[in-house]
Amino acid sequence: MIINESAENYLETILILSHRLPVVRAVDISAELGFKKSSVSIAMKNLREKNHIAVAKSGFITLTESGRAIAEEIYERHLLLSSWLTALGVDPKTAAEDACKIEHVISRESFEAIKKHVNQN
């Protein structure tokens, strides 16, 4: 499934917030990403139309099965890449920023090779 980087970031953010908060709302996503609520609302509409999220009448946002699968894949990439870069001596802040960029463009094949290498060491 092809999904753009922005949508991946939103799904990943919803996943992360769902671990920290009892419920996730658009205002929480807006605060986390530093985006205007109107921008978040448009993104949530697009994700809802693609069936990646569900929005309750109360405004609570949850990931659907497809949304959760995408979010977990991106978050796994982020965690592994940032920890790997940190282990290579990169400053943790820089490693996290770089991992956030790499996680969206790396192929599944390359990521799996890095993951295998990292897990062997």
- Decide if 17 contacts 26 (C-beta within 8 A): no
- Decide if 50 contacts 65 (C-beta within 8 A): no
CATH number for the domain that contains residue 17: 1.10.10.10
Q: Total domain count for the chain? A: 2
Instruction: Flag whether pLDDT at 1 surpasses 60.
Output: no
Angle at 27 between CA 83 and CA 40, to 5 degrees: 80
- Give pLDDT, residue 120: 86
- Give pLDDT, residue 119: 86
Phi first, then psi, for residue 53 (nearest 5°) are -140, 160
Output the average pLDDT for the chain.
Answer: 94
Domain final position from 24, 47, 65? 65
Q: Which residue segment(s) compose the domain that 38 sits in?
A: 5-65
Same domain membership, residue 87 and residue 58: no
- Give pLDDT, residue 98: 96
Selection from 50, 40, 45, 55 nearest residue 10 by Cα: 40
Task: Report CA torsion sign: 18, 5, 69, 52.
Answer: positive
For residues 86-113, give the mean pLDDT. 94
CATH number for the domain that contains residue 96: 1.10.60.10
Selection from 78, 84, 68, 79 nearest residue 24 by Cα: 68
The Cβ-side half-sphere exposure at 35, using a 13 Å CA radius, reads: 19
User: 9-67 pLDDT, tens per residue?
Assistant: 999 999 999 999 999 999 999 999 999 999 999 999 999 999 999 999 999 999 999 99
- Give pLDDT, residue 2: 65
- 102, amino acid identity: I
Give 44's contacts (C-beta < 8 A, 6+ positions apart): 10, 26, 29, 53, 55, 61
For residues 59-85, give the mean pLDDT. 96
Confidence of residue 91 (pLDDT cuts 50, 70, 90): very high
Same domain membership, residue 56 and residue 10: yes
pTM: 0.90
Same domain membership, residue 43 and residue 16: yes
